[in-house]
Chain A
């Protein structure tokens, strides 16, 4: 357990989570608390169930036991956002980019004026310079994932889940999207859980990094990341960052990969 977070400050609380695939336990009594407004990154070896964890939390996958509560409520009563790794398959290609972003707001029953207001604010926050009236397939990969991110934030989610959002993008695009995303998430104080297979990204985008072990999954290390925001490409060279990365690499080789 990652003690010390007062109940009112906890946006997401997981207790005694159990999940097995084909009789093989992935989670067997897993606990986690996520502080409101924090960005939590989850890092671990392949197949340790990082995506499984956020899919269960987001209500996309049933769990076998334990509870997942958002300030005392189950996911059905909570607005959550989700950014998929595969933006190409997550966006609706038959709707224009702007209509993709409007879609969850319409499901929420927001009035049209409010929908347009939020759409404009999102375009401004993310400094969108391309035409949102185009279809997703007419946009570049980075633009499509940006549309996905805007769509997930449009409902002003209480918790945002991001499943390896940049792993299909080139490095240059990743750097610029990371910068935009941290500005918006920190500016709006969105509680976020980021699954990543990139250690550098997990550190640079998070307030706290959870390192997971192989199955059955437990926490190998729970690393606070007190680096100042905003974090820039220069952050990657600073002593504080390097120290954290060294610690994480050691944990990864010892507890995670070696087990």
Chain B
């Protein structure tokens, strides 16, 4: 009860605060529409069509770029983590690009992939892959030494130890990396939808609503993007709890 009750109370408080701000006219109603108006306009956009399409496009792009990032980041991270000297060699480069704002790479990726779906997905996948790789490598490098020795004394060779111990030891950290990766992919996709020749997606919808002064809709789409990010994060938290039942034990 408390797990749902208290956060719900907080959310209600936020909406009341918003409503209060509208009532005392803190800002121009064009800039700050009421929660009711936001709800109405967003529901209208959802019911009459394009917003569902936008939401679906953003979800698809995020999921595809996340999958590409995972397919590259997880195996590469494990392989690099298993050879610490090699990882130390690559660490600076990985860290550097991990810290580089992915949005700064848009122009470069536009040259490489042209104006289209490919570029958005490539930038998002690039950013997410580095986060996932970094976490996977650290998960492997932080594997309990005793467990590796135990496998070794029981007759496991290098490859065996990799699949029977290192991958499992790294799994909690890999899932943490995937959770950060999917959030980052969403951030990059939404920005890319605003600026890289897009006609749909939540990012596009926000910026169009803003330019048309449909502020109710703009707020609604922002919340929709927020809900999407929150749900993706929640999904991975549940996955971590269910799948990595041994974590921290």
Residues of A within 8 A of B (CB): 58-60, 80-82, 84, 86, 89-94, 103-104, 107-108, 135, 137, 151, 155
* Cβ contact of A80, chosen from B147, B150, B153, cutoff 8 A: B153
User: What's the Cα separation between A84 and B171 when bound, in Å?
Assistant: 23
Across-interface contacts of B154 in A (CB, < 8 A):
103-104, 107, 151, 155
Interface residues of B in 139-157 (CB under 8 A from A): 144, 146-147, 149-150, 152-156
* Cβ contact of B147, chosen from A89, A135, A137, cutoff 8 A: A89
* Cβ contact of B149, chosen from A60, A103, A151, cutoff 8 A: A60
Quick check: A94 and B246 within 8 Å, CB to CB? yes
Quick check: A104 and B168 within 8 Å, CB to CB? no
**Residue count of chain B within 8 Å CB distance of chain A:** 18
Quick check: A84 and B146 within 8 Å, CB to CB? yes
User: What's the Cα separation between A116 and B156 when bound, in Å?
Assistant: 20
Across-interface contacts of A90 in B (CB, < 8 A):
146-147, 150
**Can you name the residue of chain B whose Cβ is closest to the Cβ of A138?**
B249
B128 CB → nearest A CB, Å: 26
Quick check: A86 and B153 within 8 Å, CB to CB? no
* Cβ contact of A82, chosen from B144, B147, B150, B165, cutoff 8 A: B150
Across-interface contacts of B150 in A (CB, < 8 A):
82, 84, 90-92
Across-interface contacts of B160 in A (CB, < 8 A):
107
Known: A89-B144, A89-B146, A89-B147. A108 touches B155 (CB 8 A): yes
Known: A84-B146, A86-B146, A107-B160. A93 touches B246 (CB 8 A): yes
Known: A92-B147, A93-B249. A82 touches B168 (CB 8 A): no
**Can you name the residue of chain B whose Cβ is closest to the Cβ of A108?**
B155
Across-interface contacts of B246 in A (CB, < 8 A):
93-94, 135, 137
B2 an interface residue at 8 Å Cβ cutoff? no
B85 an interface residue at 8 Å Cβ cutoff? no
User: What's the Cα separation between A81 and B153 when bound, in Å?
Assistant: 7
Could you show 9 A-B contacts with beta carbons less than 8 Å apart?
A60-B149, A81-B153, A82-B153, A84-B150, A86-B146, A107-B156, A135-B246, A137-B246, A155-B154
Q: Tell me the dominant secondary structure on chain A's binding face.
A: loop
Across-interface contacts of A60 in B (CB, < 8 A):
149, 152-153
User: What's the Cα separation between A151 and B171 when bound, in Å?
Assistant: 24
User: What's the Cα separation between A129 and B153 when bound, in Å?
Assistant: 28
Across-interface contacts of A104 in B (CB, < 8 A):
154-155
B93 CB → nearest A CB, Å: 32
Across-interface contacts of B165 in A (CB, < 8 A):
92
User: What's the Cα separation between A14 and B153 when bound, in Å?
Assistant: 19
Across-interface contacts of A58 in B (CB, < 8 A):
153
User: What's the Cα separation between A82 and B154 when bound, in Å?
Assistant: 8
B148 CB → nearest A CB, Å: 10
Q: Mark B214-249, 1 if CB is under 8 A from A, else 0.
A: 000000000000000000000000000000011001
Looking at A86, A93, A108, which has the most chain B CB atoms within 10 Å of its CB?
A: A93
Across-interface contacts of A94 in B (CB, < 8 A):
168, 171, 246
**Can you name the residue of chain A whose Cβ is closest to the Cβ of B171?**
A94
Across-interface contacts of A86 in B (CB, < 8 A):
146
A217 CB → nearest B CB, Å: 22
Across-interface contacts of B245 in A (CB, < 8 A):
135
**Can you name the residue of chain B whose Cβ is closest to the Cβ of A59?**
B153
Across-interface contacts of B168 in A (CB, < 8 A):
92, 94
The 9 A-B residue pairs with the shortest CB-CB distance in the complex, in nearest-first order: A137-B249, A93-B246, A104-B154, A89-B146, A107-B155, A82-B153, A89-B144, A90-B150, A94-B168
User: What's the Cα separation between A80 and B153 when bound, in Å?
Assistant: 7
Interface residues of B in 160-199 (CB under 8 A from A): 160, 164-165, 168, 171
Across-interface contacts of B249 in A (CB, < 8 A):
93, 137
A79 CB → nearest B CB, Å: 8
User: What's the Cα separation between A89 and B148 when bound, in Å?
Assistant: 10
User: What's the Cα separation between A60 and B156 when bound, in Å?
Assistant: 12
Looking at B146, B155, B245, which has the most chain A CB atoms within 10 Å of its CB?
A: B155
B30 CB → nearest A CB, Å: 56
**Can you name the residue of chain A whose Cβ is closest to the Cβ of B247?**
A93
A63 CB → nearest B CB, Å: 16
User: What's the Cα separation between A135 and B160 when bound, in Å?
Assistant: 21
Across-interface contacts of A108 in B (CB, < 8 A):
155
Across-interface contacts of B156 in A (CB, < 8 A):
107
User: What's the Cα separation between A155 and B154 when bound, in Å?
Assistant: 9
B175 CB → nearest A CB, Å: 13
